[in-house]
Amino acid sequence: MSFWHEKSLLEMTSEEWESLCDGCARCCLIKLQDDVVQYTSIVCQYLDQQACQCTDYSNRNQVVPTCVHLTPSTIPSWLPISCAYRRIDEGKDLEWWHPLVSGSKDSVHAAGISVRGKVISEAHVHPEEAEEQVIKWIEF
């Protein structure tokens, strides 16, 4: 049995908690919120799009106040259904492409789950053009 089978989110060590992130960077996409949340293909300017990793992770909530800070008691419903935190919170297992299952950080990219190659930085998009960038390929 693996730790995510045996422990709740609350029971995980900080190392286990961090390792649960699959590295998809879907949560770094800019979202529009009216009555409903809509994902766009615009991504936070602090994301390294090739690695799908934050370039200022330790300061992320200072540099981007709206950056989501996940805790075991705050798993937002707008997270993609693929998100490991959401899946475990809902009693589901990790998918085959999750690095903890596959043993490789590349599998999340190979499976087409990560945002690599699909996004544009917010630094290159005028805010008024965000609605034109709404995407449908993320289920949440």
Residue nearer to ligand SF4 on the CB measure, 7 or 31: 31
Closest-CA residue to 27 (of 62, 54, 58, 56): 54
- Give least dist CB 86 to ligand SF4, A: 7
Tell me the two tokens of residue 42. Answer: 């615009």
Residue nearer to ligand SF4 on the CB measure, 34 or 74: 74
Binding footprint of ligand SF4 on the chain (CB under 6 A): 21-28, 44, 46-47, 54, 60, 63-64, 67, 70, 79-80, 83-85
Which DSSP letter does residue 30 get? E
Residue nearer to ligand SF4 on the CB measure, 85 or 97: 85
- Give least dist CB 84 to ligand SF4, A: 5
Residue 115 CA to residue 112 CA, distance in Å, equals: 8
DSSP H helical ranges for 1-140: 3-6, 14-19, 60-63, 84-89, 99-102, 107-110
Exposed/middle/buried for residue 97 (C-beta within 10 Å: 0-12, 13-18, 19+): buried
Residue nearer to ligand SF4 on the CB measure, 128 or 139: 139
- Give least dist CB 39 to ligand SF4, A: 11
- Give least dist CB 87 to ligand SF4, A: 9
